[in-house]
Amino acid sequence: MDSSPDLVPDWVTWQQRPFPDANLLLLHGRQPALVDSGFVGHAEQTAAWAHARTGHIDLVVNTHWHSDHVGGNALLQTRGTLVAAGAPEAEAVIRRDPGCCAAEYLDQPVPPYTVDLSLDDGQVLQLGDADWEVVRTPGHTPGHLALWQPDEGLLVVGDALSDYDVGWVNLSLDGPDASTTALASLHRLADLVPRVLLPSHGPIPADPGAAFATALRRAQRLVDDPDGAVWYGARRIFAFALMIRGGIPVDEVEPYLHARAWLTDAARLLGRTPEALAAELIRTMLRSGAIVPRDGCLHAAAEHTPVPTGSLRVPYPRAWPVTEPR
């Protein structure tokens, strides 16, 4: 069922949904637009939901390129939808950089897509019938963006913050200043003083000012405690892996982690061996209740939607076909 908060105008349809998908945000009007497209395992449901409410989707705008935000792009493009994304991620997808979407690095499948429109900071897009300003908000990823609709005071924040969290940062891939960059992006968004925050995960915050105050404190902790930031990212990535795979057999979990590039990098930053970090990650997440043993497997405890196993069988970006400009 659609969620229709009184805070948003009638030309906005918003629906919260669990991991591994981003929330649904549909902007109605002359140029119907969808913000983000969810995980590949639920691409058909995403497309059906959007088309049932507005017919053809002219444009998908990706807040960033992680798998839970771009997984429906490929399917929608086969139906004539264009895709827009922020630089530098747009250019990397267009040139088929092997690191696209951090898909191979994170072991998170993303079906091949291309970007039709690269977005710059301050650019104005017509989405639905309204003009939205692109606000570059790097930190969670280098190309992360927000969308600002000043007339209604609506701010699409992607993974920069939610009612309960801030986006994790990747100090290995994006450098030791990624936390500081994310904090600066949050300050920039807070300075807009939005009336309504539209996050990619979780509910619409009841009080935007309080949500920003909490997010800024959390983001400052990531700056002040780099080791904590590494642990935070590792926990989030591992939980997501368990979600999309419907759990991993207990005797296969440590070998799975040992083979992951993100774990090797995290171990290096923390001064541990990958084996030691894997064992500690499992132990601490079991103790906190973030993961649970069931039926011989470890599972993520957070609410999430099951994923069809076959949907994960897509090529890494290094094997994506080269596409001609559309």
Q: What is the pLDDT of residues 258-283, one digit of tens each?
A: 999 999 999 999 999 999 999 999 99
Instruction: Determine the pLDDT at residue 323.
Output: 77
Residue type, 210: A
Report d(CA 142, CA 281) in Å as an integer.
26
In percent, how much of the chain has pLDDT > 90? 96
Residue 129 is predicted with a pLDDT of 95
The per-residue pLDDT for 269 is 98
- The per-residue pLDDT for 324 is 65
pLDDT number for residue 162:
96
Residues of the chain with pLDDT under 70: 1-5, 324-326
The answer to whether residues 304 and 239 touch, using CB atoms and an 8 Å cutoff, is no
**How high is the pLDDT of residue 3?**
53
**What is the DSSP secondary-structure string of 93-135?**
HHTT-TTGGGHHHHT--------SEEE-TT-EEEEBTEEEEEE
pLDDT digits (tens, 9 = 90+) for 40-67: 999 999 999 999 999 999 999 999 999 9
Long-range contacts of 216-221 (CB under 8 A, 24+ apart): 216/183, 216/186, 216/187, 216/190, 218/165, 218/166, 219/161, 219/166, 219/179, 219/182, 219/183, 219/186, 220/183
Q: Is the Cβ–Cβ distance between 8 and 196 less than 8 Å?
A: yes
Q: What pLDDT, on a 0 to 100 scale, did the predictor assign at position 6?
A: 79
- Name the residue with tokens 């919260």: 16
Second CATH level (architecture) for the domain 12-224: 4-Layer Sandwich (3.60)
The full set of domain ranges for the chain reads 12-224, 226-312
